[in-house]
Structure 1
Amino acid sequence: MIRGRKRILGVAAAGATALLVAAAGCGGSSGSDGGGGGGNASAPAGKKTITVGILTDVTGAAASGNKTSVDGVKAGVVYAARNGYNIKYVVGDTQTTPDGALSAAQKMVTQDHVLVVIAHSALAFTAANYLTAHKVPVVGMAEDGPEWITAKNMFSVVGALQQTKVATTIGKFFKQQSVTNVASIGYSVSPLSSESALASGESAKAAGLQVGYLNAKFPFGSTDVGPTVLAMKKAGIDGFTASVDPNTSFALITGLRQQGVALKVALLPTGYGGDLEQAGPGALNAAQNVYFQLGYEPIELQTAATKQFQSDLKDAKVTTVPTYAMYNGYAAVGLLVRGLKGAGANPTQASLITSLSGIHDWDAMGLFGGRKLDINDRENIVGGAGNCTWVTKLEGDKFTPVKGADPICGDVIPGVTVAPQS
């Protein structure tokens, strides 16, 4: 399964007004087109200027996993320019609060007059009803809630993932690595995190493995892991996965090692590439021999698609190591460009939604490894294109693609569903 849907999955309490950070995209103009996305007199001949809002967690508890989506959008701006569109964008910081997310979305609509919102936030669901009511098209990453399934103006780059269905992929990987007893952990505050933890457990069971420890009610963002580590040790687990943020994950892994637990596999949905740098001091050491998932081809494979991605990052003057959020920001602009091509010479929000609603063969600009995805299948998509995930292992300071998991793909398990624990 593509577990990027679990990246930073909690919801911080307490509201605050949103901090809006404006940034001009490459080749963009300072003028507003009222959300219509039509031509602008200052734009190069034959190109359209599109005003885009980026709704993401620049600050707060979810920032470590999501804020670099802006750098991915910058690379996407380069991609869009090659395809005839100038992207001008504003960044709305949710501050990882519900009030912050809603305020940011409201400003994008009422003041910035964006044509479309790119959402890469653990709090997107708190702004979803507002954006849907105002018929604003949204593209981005389905990491936070069921709105990507229910709201027909929202289009995820990895598909509108069914959160309660289960694929065989995770269990298949654990079995491939000779794991026999699995632990799975998720955050209580996020239905998606909780469901993902439960789904990993069901996937392991389907592979014939024991699930010795399952906790889908872990406190959001906590690094107080002592009792949990002792419970996992007592259960005799030798495999571990967690639908939580990097700080929690690495605290658990460090604790398990200190307790002498011999892990055959610690598999994380977060931490690949530049994400490791966001996890704070000591993360590199804690992450040694840890396995990391990615919903796209990792750059280490050096395919045509990953080389183009790296080239566009370079042209956008992004010099840091790619993160999963960068992949998603880049892919979101790619999906937007695909939608714009079918939205008419002077695209409107309505024509863009209609165009995006007709896309059934999305390949993430080749980053799905040749696989295609129906982004409008809101019933059957569980783990993205082909229920596939790429797995890398950190050895020293290098991520090495794992043989047999480059990618590893699975099938939806008939009749098996999960629901968040209350």
Structure 2
Amino acid sequence: MRNNPFRDALQHPVRSVPLAFLAVILLGAGLLALPLSRTAPEQEALLPALFTSVSAVCVTGLVTVDTATYWTPLGQGVILGLIQVGGFGIMTLATLLALMVRKSIGLRGQLIAQSETHTLNFGDVRSVLFRVARIMAGFEAATAAILTARFWFAYDDNPGTALWHGTFHAISAFNNAGFALYSDSLISYAGDPWIIIPICVAVIAGGLGFPVLIALLKGGVRLKDWTVHLRLTVYGTAMLLVAGFALFGAFEWNREQTLGPMPVSGKLLATLAGTVFPRTAGFNSIDYAAASPETLLTTDILMFIGGGSAGTAGGIKITTFLVLGFAIWNEIRGRDQVTIAHRSISSSVQRQALSVALLGVASVTIGTLLLLIFTDHSLDKVLFESISAFATVGVSTGITYDLPPNAQWVLMALMFTGRIGTITVASALALSTHPRLYRLPEERPIIG
């Protein structure tokens, strides 16, 4: 069969994406390794700089040093720049790759898809970039304004400090990075609605993904005309938020080490934060080292699922999880076709979802096994850290600070794989589909 030059051109950026992000990571590590970036220039530089750069570009938030005390304002500014570049790159990359995948289905398929979904076409690349930039800037500016005012008037920060803290945490929140300028993350502000709620809104917005954000912000789309992707992302996000809120609250409400001493209003707010942050962002509303095993397991599940596609969230993504769930449900009911919202889901999409999920399971399993070999920590904490790294979440039970260098390399590999791997693998699978001109005889192995 002849090579398709257009398809080859589409696959080229998919292959070059990891190299581009690796280049940004190395540049960031070089800047963070400068003596001017650290409060104590004699401190170890290379490994903390590289780990922090990987975490920032992959918008994760895991750290081996205290962001508030280890880095100077210059170093913190470098981290913020890496977060912004990483978040913007991920959103545009994922959206453009989605457009590339759609382009590969042919003109007739594009016309049908666009008429049914009211989505963008491949010719809108420039407008996509500007829309992503405008949406990011709008959410970040609004969040920064609220946080700055709160830090200034309620916590007696001077205007410059308040503006810096407000801007840093707004960008970190919308990009789902989870970096904070406080040694205890946001635990000290867990009961302040003017801090927690704006950050939660920014986290959720960034985690929905650009296609969903543009559809919701544009308005005028009736509920019955929502695309399958829009339905899965919005309803799935709501479902996970409600379930996470109920479970987190039930497990931590009376626990003396976490929510127990708080008033009811503080408990509700901390529970909301504990539901939103672990899914994508990585800020802490409680000390996870003191959390119950049930909370750690619930958080593991939320982190692994993650947020919406083509956004700053990590994990295998809500759509992947729900497509597999619908596939299982239809198989149980004996249906040979998977349908969602009166639309059929092709077998190729189901195979892609299964591939992404199983590759995620394999990555977390290998990472957890290596961390068990390299450290003396228990399985629950090691598993928590591995999922947090792979899902680019950033919450931690506190063991990351004390990990040996080889364990830090494992987490860096998980962060990079979780951020870049899921997008490129899913896109490469969609772009490399070659229909066979023949069918082999079928055979059914015994399953189960």
Larger radius of gyration: 2
Whose helix proportion is higher, 1 or 2?
A: 2
Higher strand share: 1
Looking at both structures, which has the greater relative contact order when contacts are Cα pairs under 8 Å and sequence separation is at least 6? Answer: 1
Query: After TM superposition, is the score higher than 0.5?
Result: no
- Please give the TM-score of this superposition, normalised by the length of structure 1: 0.29
